[in-house]
């Protein structure tokens, strides 16, 4: 399944091929969207300051139940 496939970067680090894009997700909904995506198996969250939802994305990452590696 693609959600488990990874790319190997030139420095040897592997990242998931499929990521959750957070552009256009309002800040007040982003935390729940991130938590739901993690429950579905997502481990790559694409975000940027320009999206204006850093607070919500950060809250979702912190509260999703997955410990940082």
Catalytic residue, chosen from 38, 51, 56, 64, is 51
Specify the length of the chain in residues.
Answer: 69
Has 42 been annotated as catalytic? no
Q: What angle do CA 40, 43, 52 make, to 5 degrees?
A: 100
How many Cβ atoms sit within 10 Å of the Cβ of residue 28? 10
Beta bridge partners of 14: 8
Catalytic residue list: 51
């Amino acid at each position: 399944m693609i959600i488990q496939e990874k790319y190997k970067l030139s420095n040897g680090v592997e990242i998931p091929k499929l990521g959750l894009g957070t552009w256009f997700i309002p800040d007040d909904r982003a935390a729940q969207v991130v938590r739901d995506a993690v429950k579905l198996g997502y481990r790559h969250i694409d975000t940027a300051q320009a999206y204006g939802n850093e607070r919500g994305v950060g809250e979702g990452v912190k509260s999703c139940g997955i410990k940082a590696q």
